[in-house]
Amino acid sequence: MSDIANTEPESLGEQAYIALRRKIVRLDFAPGDVLREDELQQSLGLGRTPIREALQRLQREHFVTVIPRRGMFVSGIEVEELSMLFETRAVLEPYAARLAALRGTPDDWDEMAATLALTTDPSLNDVDQLALDRRCHEIIWAASGNRFLLDTLDMLYAQSDRLWHLYLADVADMQHAVDEHQSILAALRDGDGDEVASLVETHVQSFDTQIRSAVTARLAAPLDQ
């Protein structure tokens, strides 16, 4: 599944960005890990310039932190930042869906239906289901016709994706989240902006609730031992 909505890498810098962000999101590079340009060049088979461009972009998006005289590290996600992440998604995701209901085409919704049809494959694991969930979001973002929304939501979803891998990968059932897209798709086909905005807001808030519960349990665990 693509990590960037409907976008093919246009440069080596873009390729480096996609590869590095995927590794950060999937915890191949965990929070606090040191990122060394020479090692990244070797592992990705890319030169210094695209690696540096990618790291600068990841720093702007808060996936990477630079500490003077110490180096470059994978950023953590502080508990107090969770509310900011999800309150932003809870505003922008429904707005993008509302625009998509107005601007989307039957081809867009046929593609979303085809994506949802893949979720019935019993061999899929939760990581696969998450990728299909993301693809449904990407289709909606693209159908909104607003590239600024698309770029912003792409970054915010990636941060949420990283939280899923950090806290929920071993316990979450992604099937319910994916199933919610069936109702969202029906509202999109009907062009019902109010309904689809409400459904998407509920979808985002449900994920937020799961993350908060998992974080709370993780923080409380040492006290129970």
Alpha helix positions (H), 5-81:
12-25, 37-44, 48-60
CB atoms within 10 A of CB 97: 27
Q: Which two tokens stand for residue 75?
A: 């950023």
The identity of residue 223, as a single letter, is: L
| Domain ranges in the chain with CATH number 1.20.120.530 | 79-224
Domain 12-74 maps to which CATH number in 3.40.50.720, 3.40.50.300, 3.90.1640.20, 1.10.10.10?
A: 1.10.10.10
User: Are 155 and 175 within 8 A, CB to CB?
Assistant: no
User: Are 81 and 159 within 8 A, CB to CB?
Assistant: no
> Does the 79-224 domain belong in CATH 1.10.3720.10?
no
Condensed to tens digits (0 to 9), the pLDDT of residues 37-92 reads 999 999 999 999 999 999 999 999 999 998 888 889 999 877 778 888 999 999 99
Kindly report the backbone phi and psi dihedral angles of residue 64, in degrees, each rounded to the nearest multiple of 5, phi listed first: -130, 140
Is residue 65 helix, strand or coil? strand
Condensed to tens digits (0 to 9), the pLDDT of residues 176-190 reads 788 899 999 999 999
| Domain ranges in the chain with CATH number 1.10.10.10 | 12-74
> Which single residue is written with the structure tokens 């059932």?
173
Is residue 77 helix, strand or coil? coil
Q: Is pTM, for the whole model, over 0.75?
A: yes
- 37 CB-near residues (< 8 Å, 6+ apart): 48, 51, 52, 55, 72
Condensed to tens digits (0 to 9), the pLDDT of residues 132-159 reads 999 999 999 999 999 999 999 999 999 9
